[in-house]
Amino acid sequence: MNTTFLETKALFELPKNMIYLDGNSLGPLPKSAVGRVADMMTHQWGEMLITGWNKAGWMQQPVDLGNRLGRLIGAEKNHLVVGDTLSIKVYQALASALAMRPDRKVILTDSGNFPSDLYMAEGLIKSFNQGHELRVVASDEIAEHISEDVAVTLITEIDYRTGRMHDMANISSRAHAAGALTIWDLAHSAGAIEVDLAKAKADFAVGCTYKYLNGGPGSPGFIYVAPRHSDIAQPALSGWLGHAAPFAFERKYRAGPSIERMRVGTPSVIASASLESALDIWDMVEMSDVRTTSMSLSDLFINIIEASCPMLKLASPRDATLRGSQVSFYFQDGYAAIQALIARGVVGDFRAPNIMRFGFTPLYIDKGDVLAACEIIGDVMQNSLWNKPEYKVKATVT
Amino acid sequence: MNTTFLETKALFELPKNMIYLDGNSLGPLPKSAVGRVADMMTHQWGEMLITGWNKAGWMQQPVDLGNRLGRLIGAEKNHLVVGDTLSIKVYQALASALAMRPDRKVILTDSGNFPSDLYMAEGLIKSFNQGHELRVVASDEIAEHISEDVAVTLITEIDYRTGRMHDMANISSRAHAAGALTIWDLAHSAGAIEVDLAKAKADFAVGCTYKYLNGGPGSPGFIYVAPRHSDIAQPALSGWLGHAAPFAFERKYRAGPSIERMRVGTPSVIASASLESALDIWDMVEMSDVRTTSMSLSDLFINIIEASCPMLKLASPRDATLRGSQVSFYFQDGYAAIQALIARGVVGDFRAPNIMRFGFTPLYIDKGDVLAACEIIGDVMQNSLWNKPEYKVKATVT
């Protein structure tokens, strides 16, 4: 790669005296984003007003952004569109997939899926009222549960708690052998690991852009539909911007071509301007470099923390190729421990009931940061009641 | 009112040499919005990072904004929430209403409804596959079509083409007498006319914030659920932020209290910051003053244009109390005429097949603007082939 991570790091606003290991929850601010958004507001919205939809390319932007993002996850050109939120895109993908498998009633998912995906499926099943079933199985057993009654698998590739990674190509292949479709939630994959949707033969994929992709708080979601399905899939949430001719104002819905039909309502242009700045940085790097570096950083972190903090029990897979770009530890007082670390400038986060998470994001976190964070974590954990022999650690897996 | 419209006009960026009569499509930029957004990005996202969700109040913001907006349309406190897009909120309201009337299958709407509302209903009906019917009747006959098989009416209060206004209180009353529920789309009402959702006994209402409310291109939608329904209504799009305890990460969905359950995914905080600036201006005024002034401006406009441009045929109700805050004229060459006007600095817009629209927005359009616009429109129309006797005008109503 031509751009070094030292160079990309300089493109982010990173608070002094803070080591930010929470890019898996919310990425930091690209320095250019404030100016980019101000420029869009001042010179596009402010000066072009309504004509900005065409003159400034707002109308086409969700597909343009989708193509830039698509390069990072192996999507074919014009098969990924940005918009709405991840939860909304889960619903769209699910509804489309179920309509393509009308004789099957099972949505197969695993207990490691992000709750909102489960909730959206539950809401869909209830409102569809067609006898669908959300079958939740153990994460490590999902492949073997893909039976002939499964319409679609709904799987988050990387577990938000532990970073455990599913084998997308293998599960997709098993799903297809059983006649099922696949939906991949890439919330913790996009910008974190190498994903090749086309090669893995994913049917649908969805994700968000505010975590590893650094689009800003609440920046839009995205949806991918494989080329073989994109002119068949029905969006269910059939809004006017997914219509074949939105400005003809026809009374009947006619689905737009390919991925365009997955658009719904009017997209947030202000939020998209911020995402553009983030993608400018992503345009400079290759995911293979990001992944190599993130594996190296997270391995280093595990080795030091395990040696210095025996009260913390590794929750993530030890093998870097089996986990995403985060490392988690079980610790029963994890909430208090994360608060203590934040007070010392090391920002990770806590997920109930007992998980401490740390994200490794090579665009702006380097080896020096990891070493500095480990020193502080070691200091906090060792000089606390948690290091006393009478403090009994119950690191339970839930 | 204490704040004059001369004062509010000074709070917007309005391009020189332009009279912007298209605030019904996209409101202009509040001067404070650029700084507000930059401040949010720099000092909240940039410095607080993930802690902004609590420290900066991002998590609570959709309800806070909803309450400020709710004052303008007569919503009870904590019964309106901002988020997603208008189309998504139509789907949510429809799904909720249908679940509350399981024995009825008809969604009643009118031919003046905005196409996206019809499309969303069509997509919902198709995916629900429960024998629902979208019954589309003539706009002026909708009240008499509210029969005992109607589950819910889906009506845009003000016709996006003509500005014709429905009688919300009367239709709601007739709907309730027949056992039906009502959904009001306020896209062209909120910030345009006086709406009193509580008094009119609306069941659900939805809308957008980028037109009269000036939130910015693609700023979020909103949904209102009447207090008597808000703990019964099921959101269908049941995302994690509508859960009773989003951060407990439970596997099963439990709907949050009241309007909170209508939240879905992670809201765009950047877009919301811009909307905040717009609401700062709305906080200064009373809708009764806005309405009085907009009726006076639009009456003036109609009188002058009818006198000076006989080729234009009024498409809006002549009685100001029966129309929203826009005035439309039928003209078969409307597209070309609007382009000619834009070239002269008068920005209206065109809606196929033959409607020229002009919006009147007292926050930043005054009598001087209307007079100046009328002069230009008169000049353009009179000094054109459209004013030649051999040019036959076919002003058709569609």
DSSP A144-194: GG--TTEEEEEEESB-TTT-BBP-HHHHHHHHHHTT-EEEEE-TTTTTTS-
Q: Domain check: are B212 and B339 in the same one?
A: no
Is A215 an interface residue toward B (CB < 8 Å)? Answer: no
- pLDDT (0 to 100) of residue B392: 64
Task: Tell me the helix, strand and coil percentages in chain A, rounded to 5.
Answer: 40, 15, 40
- Domains: count for chain B: 2
Q: What percent of chain A has pLDDT over 90?
A: 95
DSSP state of A49: G
Residues B19, B101 within the same domain: no
pLDDT digits (tens, 9 = 90+) for B123-150: 999 999 999 999 999 999 999 999 999 9
pLDDT for the residue B25: 97
Across chain B, mean pLDDT equals: 96
Of B204 and A397, more confident: B204
Q: In the prediction, which pLDDT does A398 show? A: 45
pLDDT tens-digit readout, A115-136: 999 999 999 999 999 999 999 9
Residue A255's domain comprises: 33-282
Residues A283-296 have pLDDT tens digits of 999 999 999 999 99
Mean pLDDT of B108-134: 97
Residue A2: which pLDDT band, with cuts at 50, 70 and 90? confident
* Residue % of chain A over a pLDDT of 70: 98
CB atoms within 10 A of CB B385: 8
Residue A392 lies in a domain: no
Is residue A313 over pLDDT 50? yes
Of A282, A302, A329, the residue at which a domain comes to its end is A282
Angle at A208 between CA A207 and CA A210, to 5 degrees: 155
Residue A141 within any structural domain of the chain: yes
**Does B101 fall in a domain?**
yes
Same domain? For A24 and A39 the reply is: no
pLDDT over 80 (residue B285): yes
Structural domain contains residue A376: yes
* Residue B210 annotated in active site: yes
A396, pLDDT greater than 60: no
CB nearest to A128's CB, from B128, B219, B242: B128
Q: What CATH number should be reported for the domain holding residue B294?
A: 3.90.1150.10
**Is residue B274 domain-shared with residue B299, that is, in the same domain?**
no
Report the residue of chain A nearest B95, measured CA to CA: A127
- Based on the fold, state whether residues A293 and A207 are members of the same structural domain: no
pLDDT at B397: 46
| A1 pLDDT higher than 80 | no
B218 in contact with A, Cβ within 8 Å: yes
B233 and B267 inside one domain: yes
Residues B253 and B322 placed together within one structural domain of the fold = no
**Above 50 in pLDDT, residue A355?**
yes
Asked if residue B138 and residue B59 are part of one domain, the reply reads yes
Taking only the tens place, the pLDDT of each residue in A212-265 is 999 999 999 999 999 999 999 999 999 999 999 999 999 999 999 999 999 999
- pLDDT tens digits along B316-348: 999 999 999 999 999 999 999 999 999 999 999
Q: Is A79 left (phi over 0), alpha (psi -120 to 50) or beta?
A: alpha
CATH code of the domain covering residue A43? 3.40.640.10
What residues have CB less than 8 Å from B225, skipping those under 6 apart? B79, B93, B96, B203, B204, B233, B258, B259, B262
Return the pLDDT at B100: 98
pLDDT for B396 equals: 47
Give the domain-ending residue among B282, B306, B341: B282
Question: In terms of domains, do B80 and B228 share one?
Answer: yes
> Is the same domain home to A115 and A39?
yes
Same domain, A155 and A79: yes
Look at residue A361 and give its three-state secondary structure: coil
Would residue A21 count as lying in a domain? yes
State both tokens at A181.
Answer: 């479709």
Whether B67 and B14 map to the same domain: the answer is no
Residues of chain B in contact with residue A267, where contact means CB-CB under 8 angstroms, are 85, 218
ipTM for the complex shown: 0.96
- Closest CB to A270: pick one of B208, B267, B274: B274
pLDDT per residue as tens digits for the range B174-199: 999 999 999 999 999 999 999 999 99
Which contiguous run of DSSP H or E holds residue B337? helix B334-343
Is residue A63 domain-resident? yes
Residue B242 lies in a domain: yes
User: Which of A248, A264, A282 is the C-terminal boundary of a domain?
Assistant: A282
Task: Please report whether residue A310 resides in a domain.
Answer: yes
Which residues lie closer than 8 Å to A383 by C-beta, 6 or more apart? none
